[in-house]
Every structure is written in C-alpha cells, then in structure tokens.
C-alpha cells in the first residue's frame, strides 16, 4: 500500500510532486483540461493535458508547477493507496465532535421517549460508523468526511441556545430533531470515493429518506411512542429547510421547526464562509461565490 506523505495543506508554490485524487473535470483551457483534485487536507484545480483520459476516483501522482492551481507536466497512475488519504476530512478530531454531541444529548434529551429514539441510532455501532464518516453535502456545505457530525453538533448547539433564549416550549423535541434532521444524508450521499448523490438521493432526497428512517425505527422498536412526539419529530425533519423553494415539503410552522431551520441555515452559511476565508487574504475581496450569491470583503 502506497504511503502518502505529502499533502496539499503543506504544499508550497513552485515545483511540486504530489499524489491526488481526480474529483471531477471542470472545463477546458487551451490544450489542457482543468480538474478538481483532492487529498484529505483540501482541494486544488489542476491543469492536465487534454489527451489524457482521467476518471473521477482515479489517484494520480503529478509533477508540475503550483501557483493558485497546479500546471501538470508529468502524471502517472497510483495503483495502491489508502482512500482515506484522498477524501477531504474534517479538521477537528471526530471523537471530540461526538463527545460534544453526547454532552448536549445528556443535557437536553431526558424523557423516556427521547432517550429511546436517540439510543436506537446512537447506541448502534454500525450507525455510528456511518455517521462519523458522513458528509454534510457534495458541494454546498460541510462537504468533507466527518462534515455531517460537525454540522449536527453545531445545529444542536445553536438550537439549544435559541430554545433557551426564546423559551421554546419543546426544547427536547427541537434538540433531538436537530440531532436527527440530516440522518437521511447517510443514504442520500456517497462518501466512499468522490462525493456524489446516490440514486436514492437523486430520486427522493435526504428529507424524505430521513422520515422513512424514523418510520422504520418506530416499527423496529415496537414500543409505544406518543402520537404528538413522533408527529413533531417528523414535522421538524420535513420542515427544516424552512420554505418550499429551499426544498422543504412544508413551510416551517412549529416553534421548534422554525428554530431548527434558523440553526441549520446559520451553520450551513457560516461553513461556506469559513471555506471562502481559506482562499481569501485578510482585508481583500473574495471571489464571487454562487452558494451565498455574493463576494465577501474579508
């Protein structure tokens, strides 16, 4: 197995030699194609001779000159590698994230119903293994391994704070829904190679998938839950995008789903800004970013 010891994170401008994964072809530039390339520390564009046929997921060792992009003059395939070296990964230790999630859970999810539904997922080792590797999106926000867990923690935290500040009547429902709101992404998104949507994700999306997962959990447990509890949990998942034009099957119309929508939107937006900051010098304008529909003075 090839041991990767040079990563984008520490790569200086000038002549470089590094192995990277082909994520996707972006566009043609003269006699070269521009590809999005990655390793676990980030992304970069690479200009590669258009006569070469490269596929997403292919790992290549390249030599070239790095500036804002890498202009590649030599390339060869890497046959043996650890895939984890080439998929962009959350910067914080995943166990640290999970510990903070557990702290908020113990503080806010205290009813027998809440604990049962929480434990069905988060006491299951197979679910936890998937959850820790999950991504928050393909390109919009938290688009890296561990991004789903990081996003979940942030949304739980913001939901807890908003519930306390505005005296939400159903804090436990809101926080538990924040923890479960994106579990559908585990089946919506593919994250064992270049990130993309699964067929199920393309056809149904994570909101519908998430509600199906909750329904399946209720059937599997075969224990009584109050109708109001389940209706509100599923309602929050259905409504967490807030508006129809943002992909929500229903407009948010419960106190807890409105709080969840605000928390979700704040974290997604700030994550996009964090990514923009990484490529922008202080006291300068960023490039226009289609995700937030503006450029930023940072």
Domain containing 163: what range? 94-277
The pLDDT tens digits of the residues spanning 2-34 come to 678 899 988 899 999 999 999 999 998 888 999
For tokens 């739980």, the residue is 156
Integer angstrom CA distances of residue 95 from 87, 91, 128, 139, 148? 18, 12, 11, 24, 13
Mean pLDDT, rounded, of the chain: 93
Q: How many CB atoms lie within 10 A of CB 194?
A: 19
Number of domains in the chain: 2
User: What is the CATH number for 53?
Assistant: 2.40.50.140
Is the domain of 81 the same as that of 143?
no
Is the domain of 185 the same as that of 209?
yes
- Burial of residue 55, with CB atoms counted within 10 A of its CB: 0-12 exposed, 13-18 middle, 19 or more buried: exposed
The pLDDT tens digits of the residues spanning 178-225 come to 999 999 999 999 998 889 999 999 999 999 999 999 999 999 998 889
Is the domain of 273 the same as that of 159?
yes
Is the domain of 176 the same as that of 124?
yes
Is the domain of 34 the same as that of 57?
yes
Is the domain of 136 the same as that of 24?
no
Q: Residues for the chain: how many in total?
A: 298
Domain termination site, one of 59, 85, 111: 85
Is the domain of 37 the same as that of 98?
no
Question: Helices H, strands E: what count in the chain?
Answer: 10, 7
How many Å apart are CA 87 and CA 192, to the nearest integer? 8
For residue 292, is it within any domain? no
- The pLDDT value given to residue 2: 60
For residue 243, which phi and psi values (nearest 5 degrees)? Answer: -130, 155
Is the domain of 43 the same as that of 117?
no
């Amino acid at each position: 197995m090839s041991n990767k010891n040079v990563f984008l994170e520490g790569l200086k401008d000038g002549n470089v030699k590094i192995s990277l994964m082909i994520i996707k072809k972006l566009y043609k530039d003269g006699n070269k194609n521009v590809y999005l390339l990655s390793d676990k520390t980030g992304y970069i564009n690479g200009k590669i001779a258009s006569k070469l046929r490269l596929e997403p997921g292919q790992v290549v060792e390249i030599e070239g000159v790095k500036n804002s992009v890498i202009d590649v003059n030599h390339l060869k395939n890497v046959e043996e590698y650890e895939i984890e070296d080439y998929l962009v990964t959350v910067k914080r230790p995943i166990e640290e994230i999970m510990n903070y999630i557990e702290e908020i859970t113990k503080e806010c999810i205290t009813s027998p119903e809440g604990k049962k539904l929480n434990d069905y997922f988060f006491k299951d080792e197979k679910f936890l293994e998937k959850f820790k590797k999950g991504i928050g999106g393909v390109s919009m926000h938290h688009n890296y391994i561990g991004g789903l867990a990081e996003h979940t923690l942030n949304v739980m935290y913001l939901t807890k704070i908003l519930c306390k500040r505005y005296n939400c009547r159903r804090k436990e429902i809101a926080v538990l829904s924040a923890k479960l709101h994106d579990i559908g992404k585990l089946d919506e998104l593919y994250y064992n190679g270049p990130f993309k949507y699964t067929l199920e994700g393309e056809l149904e999306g994570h909101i519908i998938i998430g509600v199906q997962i909750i329904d399946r959990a209720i059937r599997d447990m075969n224990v009584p839950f109050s109708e109001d509890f389940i209706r509100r949990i599923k309602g929050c998942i259905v409504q967490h995008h807030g508006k129809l034009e943002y992909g929500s099957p229903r407009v948010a119309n419960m106190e807890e789903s409105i709080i969840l929508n605000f928390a979700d939107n704040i974290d997604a937006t700030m994550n996009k800004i964090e990514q923009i900051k990484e490529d922008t010098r202080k006291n300068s304008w960023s490039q226009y970013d289609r995700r937030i529909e503006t450029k930023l003075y940072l």
